[in-house]
Structure 1
Amino acid sequence: MPTRLSSPTTRRLPLAALFLALLLVLPGCAPKIKIFASQATEPLKEYVVDGEGPGKIALIHLRGFLSTEPAQGMLRSQPSAVQELVNNLKLAEADDQVGAVVVAIDSPGGTTTASDVLYHELTAFKQRTGKPVVAAMFDVAASGGYYAALPADWIVAHPTTITGSVGVVFMRPKLNGLMDKVGVDVEVSKSGRDKDMGSPFRPTTPEEEALFQGIIDDMAARFYALVQEHRHLTPAHLETVKTARVFTASQALSIGLIDQIGYVQDAFAKARDLAGLDPECKVVTYRRDMYPDDNPYNTLDSAEPYKPSLLGVDAGFVLPPRAGFCYVWEGGVTR
């Protein structure tokens, strides 16, 4: 019988897979291509979502993977979570009728820098204005999502919230196994021994592992210190938190990570109490579009969660995580 040869398409598949993988792990080197991308240029406007009395509470949504990068799409790009939170805080600060802020958090965390910037901006807002901040946790407020909640004067978790995951993870995709199968190699010329540490094209050496662990330990120590500064945990509870496990709302309350289990309305009530506002005061949010029958659960016009993009299209279902240090709970990341 004649020998059956592989079709040209079949022979090219490994190289196509390698090319795709290279695009995914080298975001800083590969060109960023956008198709029909446009910026969200409409200004934020105030909309009332609850209450009709004097005074205001500003409701700000913080959701999805926390990043300083905008979310890219086929037709437009959305401001990053950091940019949008700062935009909202500026409006709340400029309005003398706004007596308090409620930050609704639904996030597994994000990059270490984005999480820390959010923490810094909320802390600076409180210092400049004296306006109290209440955090309202929804499905997930873990790792960087919890980090961002730390400056709040009061933290309310939904009865079904998952929180905690206090720690750091360093994610780095590896291609050396795939490259060995395909028969492709990468030559590197470098100025110092550790210049290419973390390279996806070769295994990590024990020396590099130790260096990375030192960075992780340093970043985790900052997280632990901030948790202790704001939550004043017992030594035993702090050691439990350092395992980086996640907690249910009732577990988080018993260990001291949150102040109350309740709903967003309870967060509004606490904000009114802390600011001395009228019990029927308005709850306002800032959007670029008007929605009929608006209410506090509407997140349509808040910053879209960061999603990896390939040629301007959401490609979270095929892309591995980008390399980087993150305050993130991997179990809570959806793609």
Structure 2
Amino acid sequence: MRLNRVLALALVTLCLIAALGNWLGGSVNKSKDQGSANVAQINVYGVISDEASGGPFSSGEGANANKLISNIKKAREDDGIKAILLRINSPGGTAAASQAVYEELMRTRKDTDIKIVASLGDVAASGGYYIASAADHIVANPSSITGSIGVIVQTQNVTSLLDKVGVQTNTFTSGPLKDILSPFRETKPEERKILQSIVDDSYQQFLDAIVAGRGMPLEKLKPLADGRIYTGTQAKDNKLVDSLGNYYDALDKTAELANISGDPKVKDFGKGSLFGDFGPFLSTSNQSFPQLTTEWLSSKSQWPRWHKIPLTIME
């Protein structure tokens, strides 16, 4: 038992030393160019939401909408920044959070001369594409998965299962629509109309955002926006993205659009803290809302976090 404790302590110590070395190394590398940085890199990784997160041991990176908006504003207020490079690897997220980040990017385009380029990674679907559509230029890998332009609300009816095991549910509400997404009964016709109106309105807002960001006519966008996903190559053929390439191609395009001569100097806004690598294990977030819908399941590594999203209506 004592040997196990010693080994465990040694392992934790090694992890902390590695994290410290990585953090210090990143700080040293950034310090050389920080004063003259002209490109702000902002990472949109994971599910996009307004989920509360933080604490001294949480990661500074991620797809928390408030954090992303704060980083965009910091980049906009930095006199040396001429462009923003978005690195997006996200299956989507909640409608409001995706919309909030999109609007902050569009405000940047409107109020400044800062150019915005989106570099799509493995996945930039649904809310990930929503955010990307605010960029002046979108670069995707040929095999990136993107699109999934649409909105969804899901609920389950488990009454037959509960009947089999002899479980009865009693619900007391202040109004007939308070339990509109209850899984313990059939959805009423009037509830279906309400939910469909929410889906339709959110969907139209999604379309309007892409039209405004991409300058694509609605009549050309609508046939592409039926919820299907596209590879990067297919998205380019359909003008949902502008060019194909990797991160460095996107960086070159960023420098070109921003008229940056020489090698662009990149500052990573939202760089993780010293303990960022341990954020998923040490986060102080205490939200535990039930998952009411499913996102596009692009990566099993995201599953443990998805139960924290109270309502996802974008997929």
2:143 alignment counterpart: 160
In 2, Cα distance between equivalents of 1:69 and 1:172: 21
Secondary structure at the aligned position of 1:138 is classed as strand
Q: CA deviation at 1:132?
A: 0.9
Q: Label 1:159 to 1:143 Cα distance change in 2 as closer, same or farther (>3 A).
A: same
How far apart, in 2, do the equivalents of 1:319 and 1:271 lie? Answer: 32
User: Aligned pair in 2 of structure 1 residues 270, 252: CA closer, same or farther (>3 Å)?
Assistant: same
CA distance in 1, matches of 2:113, 2:185: 52
Q: Which residue of structure 2 aligns with residue 193 of structure 1?
A: 176
**Out of 198, 204, 213, which is 2:196 matched to?**
213
CA distance in 2: counterparts of 1:254 and 1:302, whole angstroms: 39
CA deviation after TM superposition for structure 1 residue 178, in Å: 3.8
Q: Does residue 327 of structure 1 match 2:314?
A: yes
In structure 1, list runs of 5 or more residues that go unmatched.
1-41, 292-298, 329-335
**For 2:30, which of 29, 41, 48 is the aligned residue?**
48
- Residue identity in the other structure for 1:268: L
Q: 1:269 to 1:51 in 2, by over 3 A?
A: farther
Post-superposition shift, 1:208?
Answer: 1.6
Counterpart amino acid of residue 82 in structure 1: A
SS in 2 for 1:115: helix
Which has the larger displacement, 169-178 or 112-121?
169-178
Report the TM-score when normalising by structure 1. Answer: 0.70
Instruction: Decide which of 103, 106, 109 is 1:120's aligned counterpart.
Output: 103
Counterparts in 2 of 1:283 and 1:250: CA distance versus 1, 3 Å: same
Q: 1:114 to 1:307 in 2, by over 3 A?
A: farther
Q: Flag the 1:91–1:191 CA change in 2: closer, same or farther, 3 A.
A: closer
Residues 208 and 46 of structure 1: CA distance in aligned 2, closer, same or farther (over 3 Å): farther
Q: 1:65 corresponds to which residue?
A: 47
Match for 1:238 among 221, 242, 262?
221
Structure 1 position 247 matched with structure 2 position 230: yes
Higher mean C-alpha deviation, range 182-191 or range 90-99: 182-191
2:164 matched residue in structure 1: 181
Equivalent residue letter for 2:42: I
Q: CA deviation at 1:251?
A: 1.0
Give the Å deviation of 1:51: 8.1
Cα deviation digits, residues 100-144 of structure 1 (max 9, x gap): 110000011101111111111211233333211111101110110
Question: 2:16 is matched with which residue?
Answer: none
Q: Deviations over 1:305-329 (max 9, x none)?
A: 999859xxx994598685624222x
Corresponding residue pairs, total: 275
SS at match of 1:326: coil
Equivalent of 1:279, from 259, 262, 267?
262
CA contact (8 A) 1:84 1:302 kept: no
State the distance in 1 between where 2:136 and 2:44 align: 17
Decide whether the 8 Å contact of 1:171 with 1:321 is kept in 2: no
Structure-1 separation of matches of 2:150 and 2:84: 27
1:324 aligned partner, one-letter code: L
Name the structure 2 match of 1:85: 68
Q: Deviations over 1:47-95 (max 9, x none)?
A: 639989955211110011111003589x955565212212322331232
Partner of 1:257: 240
The alignment-based identity, stated in percent, is: 33
- Between 50-59 and 218-227, the greater mean CA deviation after superposition: 50-59
Give the SS at the match of 2:41: strand
TM-score, normalised via structure 2 length:
0.74
1:134 match: secondary structure:
strand
Distance in 2 separating the partners of 1:183 and 1:72: 42
Deviates more, 1:168-177 or 1:274-283: 168-177
After superposition, the Cα gap between the structure-2 partners of 1:173 and 1:158, relative to the gap in structure 1 and judged at 3 Å, is same
Deviations 1:215-262 (A, max 9, x none): 101111111122223334466642321211111111111111111111
Q: Which one has a larger percent helix, Structure 1 or Structure 2?
A: 2
How far, CA to CA, are the matches of 2:302 and 2:127 in structure 1?
23
Which residue type is aligned with residue 131 of structure 1? Answer: I
Mark the runs of 5 or more structure 2 residues left unpaired by the alignment.
Answer: 1-22, 290-300
Work out the CA distance in 2 between the residues paired with 1:98 and 1:315.
Answer: 32
Query: CA-to-partner distance for each residue in 1:174-208, whole Å, 9 max, x for gaps?
Result: 44344323323232233332222111222212332
Task: Report the more deviating stretch, 144-153 or 279-288.
Answer: 279-288
Pairs within 5 Å for 1:142-157: 142-157=125-140
Task: Please report the RMSD computed on the Cα atoms of aligned residues, expressed in angstroms.
Answer: 3.8
Tell me, yes or no, if the aligned pair for 2:207 and 2:218 is still in contact at 8 Å. Answer: no
